[in-house]
Amino acid sequence: MRLPRRSLPLVLASAAVLAAPAAQAQTAARGLVVVEAPADEPALDAAKLRADVGAELGAEAVAPGDPRAAQASGTVQVSVDRAAHTLSVAYRGQAEPITRTVDLPADAEATERAAVLLAGNLARDEAGELAAALRRARPAAPPRVEDTVPDAVERAELDRLGATLGFDARWSAPRRTLADVTLGVGFGAVAASATVSIYGAATGARWSSDAAFYLLQGGNALVIGSYLLRPGDFGPLTEQFARERAEGLPPAVIVDDVERAWFRAVRTEQNNRRVIGWVTIVAGSVVAGLSGAALAVYAAQPSPGGSFSIGSWSGWTAVGAFDLTVGIDLVVTPGPLESALRTYQTAAGRRTATDTARLLPFVAPAHGGGVAGLGGRF
């Protein structure tokens, strides 16, 4: 049946009146919370933050200016203090307002995640305070599995991370001592080489040339080798873990922040090892090539003369080959921080996300022969 034109507004108005209570009932059944976010903060997208907080609380999140805000059961207020480098989240419900302030995470994604997790924890804390009297008045019900398992999993991950960092920090101490001693002995040998050279020049002692070069060669090997012994710097990671745990951050936030810092430290370690490795490869190749050629010429002479002996040139050839080997090792193998991160990821059942350059020897055919060299992916 078709309604008269003048009856249409009345029908639409009646439908709107009937739909409003239904929408309010649906919102009330699900729950309503107001989420206030700074409009000029680049690290926080207000719309996305409301959606994520609503999903975390199992409620519908609205802006303060929304008409339904007056019916909300609580208010979440998120603020960022760039000067103090802090993130603050406050929850105001039926009890006294609860506020938590933490260090501002490194990027926007971590900032939003921390704000959402803190909002959820604060809302649950307030609910716990309101229910305290009821819990004292009646026997406690056994916890539901779905409520306890996530917390247990997050705390287990936090404990695993703390144990890994603690173990690596303790193991690094003796390695750092050994590396420092090796480096000191290496520089001492270099200084002794200079002293012997000066003495030989002043006295004309024939043994001084070989002795000076042997000391210089040994000092070079010790200085280069000390870098292989040096452990990763786990101090900043351990300090960050202890600081965020003392501040009471949620386990998931702490794990995420420390893992991100660990990945950044691994990237820095990889870059440093590649730079030092390639410099050592080039230097070792030059020293080994020149000294090897000089050794061949020197050994072919019937009565070689000069201040250098076959032993001196052999020593320089060995030092060049050692430097070349150490340089290749620095380029193609993971450093201490990366190795520890891979072990931690494997223990946590995750796929390792770090990557190390690959340097491999190759032989390619060429006109009249072949070409040998090193190649790989970087």
Does 166 share its domain with 122? no
Does 65 share its domain with 157? no
Does 265 share its domain with 363? yes
Does 120 share its domain with 228? no
Please say if the pLDDT value at position 6 is more than 60. Answer: no
Does 47 share its domain with 182? no
CATH number at residue 116: 3.30.160
Does 126 share its domain with 201? no
Does 165 share its domain with 314? yes
Per-residue pLDDT of 289-338, as tens digits, reads 888 887 777 767 655 555 556 667 777 788 888 888 888 988 888 888 88
* More confidently predicted of 122 and 26: 122
Does 131 share its domain with 162? no
Strand order in the sheet with 60-62: 60-62, 32-36, 74-81, 86-92, 98-103
**End residue of a domain, out of 87, 111, 136:** 136
Q: What is the domain range of residue 54?
A: 28-136
When the pLDDT of each residue in the chain is averaged and rounded to a whole number, the result is 75
Among 179, 169, 167, 180, residue whose Cα is nearest residue 234:
169
> Helices marked H in the chain — which ranges?
8-30, 46-57, 108-130, 132-137, 145-203, 207-229, 235-246, 251-300, 310-332, 336-347
Amino acid at 156: A
CA 290 – CA 106 distance, rounded (Å) = 50
**End residue of a domain, out of 107, 136, 165:** 136
Does 129 share its domain with 189? no
331 close to 357: Cβ distance less than 8 angstroms:
yes
341 close to 263: Cβ distance less than 8 angstroms:
yes
Kindly state whether residue 227 falls inside one of the protein's structural domains: yes
Does 164 share its domain with 113? no
Backbone angles phi, psi at 41, to 5 degrees: -95, 115
Query: Number of structural domains, the chain?
Result: 2
**End residue of a domain, out of 72, 102, 136:** 136
Q: Is the dihedral of CA 46, 49, 54, 57 positive or negative?
A: negative
Does 245 share its domain with 370? yes
Per-residue pLDDT of 203-253, as tens digits, reads 878 777 778 878 888 888 898 888 888 888 888 888 888 888 888 888 888
* More confidently predicted of 36 and 372: 36
Kindly state whether residue 145 falls inside one of the protein's structural domains: no
Among 297, 357, 291, residue whose Cα is nearest residue 330:
357
